[in-house]
């Protein structure tokens, strides 16, 4: 069995997230997804619109995601790879080169992002919208 792992915040869940996770699963038999906790995001200086519990539930509901775990630190990746016998680490190509150090534990693959969509783009649209939170519904799946 080939085990794949990836990590992310998955705030304002959108089609780019969906596609990345679906492609990650296509690389193996089991997909493990680490969802960044609110505390970890705060340490990274990252603001989220959705609390961890909601983001966790959304990812867990996807039919091609087998296991969801909280991501609490940068350092946990090596432990997770060992604990879950991970064969492939997958992340978006905006992180290219940042996780090459994991290649001594498993294969590292940087997947292309979906063009024209990201949580950053959605946050900007929300900030610029007079509608506020109403715009979220039109971008999330």
**What are the tens digits of pLDDT across the range 33-49?**
999 999 999 999 888 88
Query: 125 lies in a domain?
Result: no
For the chain, give the mean pLDDT: 87
Measured CA to CA, the distance from residue 126 to residue 69 in angstroms comes to: 28
Measured CA to CA, the distance from residue 12 to residue 121 in angstroms comes to: 10
The catalytic position among 25, 43, 44, 131 is 44
Q: What is the CATH number of the domain that holds 22?
A: 3.40.50.620
β partners of residue 8: 35
What mean pLDDT comes out for the span 25-34? 98
- At 12 the pLDDT is 84
**Full residue range of the structural domain in which residue 29 is found:** 3-114
Q: What is the pLDDT of residues 60-95, one digit of tens each?
A: 999 999 999 999 999 999 999 999 999 999 999 989
Domain count, the chain: 1
The catalytic position among 25, 43, 46, 77 is 46
46 is catalytic: yes
Query: 55 lies in a domain?
Result: yes
Query: 137 lies in a domain?
Result: no
Which tokens sit at 11?
């705030």
60 is catalytic: no
Query: What's the pTM value of the predicted model, to 2 decimals?
Result: 0.83
- Report helix, strand or coil for 112: coil
Query: 71 lies in a domain?
Result: yes
Which residue from 38, 56, 103, 44 is spatially nearest to 77, judged by alpha carbons?
103
Angle at 136 between CA 72 and CA 139, to 5 degrees: 95
Query: 120 lies in a domain?
Result: no
């Amino acid at each position: 069995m080939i085990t794949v792992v990836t990590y992310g915040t998955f705030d304002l869940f959108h089609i780019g997230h969906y596609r990345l996770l679906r492609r990650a699963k296509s690389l193996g038999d089991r997909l493990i997804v680490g969802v960044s906790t609110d505390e970890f995001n705060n340490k990274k200086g990252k603001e989220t619109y959705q609390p961890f519990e909601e983001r966790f539930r959304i990812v867990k509901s996807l039919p091609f995601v087998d296991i969801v775990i909280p991501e609490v630190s940068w350092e946990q990746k090596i432990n997770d790879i060992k604990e879950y016998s991970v064969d492939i680490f997958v992340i978006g190509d905006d992180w290219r080169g940042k996780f090459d150090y994991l290649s001594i534990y498993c294969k590292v693959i940087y997947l292309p992002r979906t063009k024209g969509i990201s949580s950053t783009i959605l946050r900007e649209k929300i900030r610029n919208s007079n509608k506020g939170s109403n715009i979220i519904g039109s971008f999330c799946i």
